[in-house]
Amino acid sequence: MNRSVSETALHAQAPANSAEPAASGQTVAPGPRSAGRRDGPDQMQSVNGDCSGDSDNIQQQLQRILVGDSPPMRHLFRQIARVAPTSASVLITGESGTGKELVAQAIHQFSARGERPFLPINCGAIPAQLIESELFGHVKGSFTGATRDHSGYFERANGGTLFLDEITEMPFDLQVNLLRVLETSTFARVGGSREHTTDTRIIAATNRDPVQAVEDGDFREDLLYRIQVFPVHLPPLRERNGDIELLARHFLEQYNRDEKQRKALSDEAVDALCRYSWPGNLRELKNVVQRSCIMAETCIEPEDLPAHITLPDGGSPNHNWSVPVGRSLAEMEKKLILATLDYCGGRKEKAARMLGICPKTLYNRLREYQRRA
């Protein structure tokens, strides 16, 4: 599978060019593009030609294109349906991997701005010295390396939606500039004096408690009031237990479609998935299903899942766990090594310590598995 988790993590029928990572378990379905429009890698296609209907109509459409039928998901549908047609700023909160960006895309798509740009920017991933230029643009000669005028996100998103991910990681000194844009709809490029106007809807997201970020001195209280006109909280996957099987089967279908396979999922494996607490949320579930599809011959069984998924308490490594009878030692060694590596998040030296072998031995085993594959 070559698409990112965010493309599929709020995932019913995600467009091929959306991006995270990945999704309160829902995905916005593809639809027609505007003629002549060029979309960025994180931009969504239209769900349909008219997204301006009433709340009930939007909820009905959401139920066809988002994966999930648990009470938290139905509440989320109602929230999206209420806020999408408005111009209100939205603050989405939730743990990593719950699908904040794709919820933002859904809100944008069901708004009157749905045919205009949706531009995401990760405030925590851009160096502090560059993010002001990225947001507001700069004029030629404003700093070393500024060899030409540059339009920022607020100009490029004009008429559409700007998604500010990890908003609480934005440099504190820059937050006052953002507040000014929200209050006046005007800004100036870095190094410039001319005022630019912008008609841009702001949707922001964070995996932190924004009130705590204010108390910690990392975020301006007045800015929080501005962006949190309509708060949306995405529940973690462990609170959406009724959706885990739906999502797992969706990810399985996606894998089969992408890899031209016909893998199945046993009831026992489903039970194990539903018992697990999913600290990594949808991103983790998608990765587990993908990895298990690779490990399984035809049907995913509990022994094809990572070891920590099938532990009796749903994730603690301190309990004994059973192994299937009838497998060769070489097969079991491979499963144990890969499961331990998965449990350690791919950190080979840590996995080697847990296995009681030297890192060189682990590297040799992994090269051997890759060669045989």
Q: Give pLDDT tens digits for 157-207.
A: 999 999 999 999 999 999 999 999 999 999 989 888 889 999 999 999 999
What does the mean pLDDT of the chain come to? 82
- Which carries the bigger pLDDT value, residue 259 or residue 32? 259
Q: Do 99 and 219 belong together in one domain?
A: yes
Q: Do 11 and 100 belong together in one domain?
A: yes
Q: Do 35 and 169 belong together in one domain?
A: yes
The region of weakest confidence among 47-51, 217-221, 350-354 is 47-51
Q: Do 23 and 94 belong together in one domain?
A: yes
Element (DSSP H or E) covering residue 368: helix 359-372
pLDDT score at 20: 39
**Amino acid residing at 179:** L
> Using CA atoms, how far apart are residues 116 and 119, in angstroms rounded to an integer?
10
**What is the tens place of the pLDDT at every residue in 250-293?**
999 999 999 999 999 999 999 999 999 999 999 999 999 999 99
pLDDT at 27 over 80: no
pLDDT at 24 over 70: no
We report the CATH number of the domain holding residue 214 as: 3.40.50.300
**What is the tens place of the pLDDT at every residue in 207-244?**
999 999 999 999 999 999 999 999 999 999 999 978 99
Q: Do 94 and 191 belong together in one domain?
A: yes
Structure tokens at 335: 């499963």
Asked whether the CA dihedral 236, 237, 243, 246 is positive or negative, the reply is positive
pLDDT score at 320: 44
pLDDT band at residue 121 under the 50/70/90 scheme: very high
43-72 average pLDDT score: 66
* Number of independent structural domains in the chain: 2
231 strand-pairing partners: 91
CA dihedral 299, 300, 304, 306 (to 10 degrees): 170
pLDDT band at residue 143 under the 50/70/90 scheme: confident
> Using CA atoms, how far apart are residues 157 and 175, in angstroms rounded to an integer?
19
Q: Do 104 and 211 belong together in one domain?
A: yes
> Using CA atoms, how far apart are residues 215 and 235, in angstroms rounded to an integer?
23
Of 185, 204, 235, the one marking the end of a domain is 235
The region of weakest confidence among 180-189, 243-252, 310-319, 344-353 is 310-319
- Which carries the bigger pLDDT value, residue 331 or residue 74? 74
Q: Do 217 and 253 belong together in one domain?
A: no
Q: Which residues, other chains included, contact 178 with Cβ-Cβ below 8 Å and sequence gap of 6+?
A: 135, 164, 170, 223
Q: Do 175 and 118 belong together in one domain?
A: yes
Structural domain span for residue 97 = 5-235
pLDDT score at 260: 94
Structure tokens at 87: 């111009």
We report the CATH number of the domain holding residue 306 as: 1.10.8.60
Q: Do 166 and 256 belong together in one domain?
A: no
Query: Do residues 299 and 266 make contact, with C-beta atoms less than 8 angstroms apart?
Result: yes
pLDDT score at 214: 97
The region of weakest confidence among 18-32, 131-145, 250-264 is 18-32
81-95 average pLDDT score: 96
**Amino acid residing at 101:** E
Q: Do 144 and 243 belong together in one domain?
A: no
Query: Do residues 62 and 132 make contact, with C-beta atoms less than 8 angstroms apart?
Result: no
Structure tokens at 280: 């990594």
Q: Do 18 and 149 belong together in one domain?
A: yes
- Which carries the bigger pLDDT value, residue 105 or residue 142? 105
Q: Do 90 and 224 belong together in one domain?
A: yes
Of 214, 235, 256, the one marking the end of a domain is 235
Structure pTM? Answer: 0.71
Quickly list DSSP for 127-141: -HHHHHHHHH-B-TT
pLDDT at 19 over 50: no
Quickly list DSSP for 277-340: --TTHHHHHHHHHHHHHHH-SSEE-GGGS-GGGSSTTSS-TTS-----TT--HHHHHHHHHHHH
Of 198, 218, 235, the one marking the end of a domain is 235
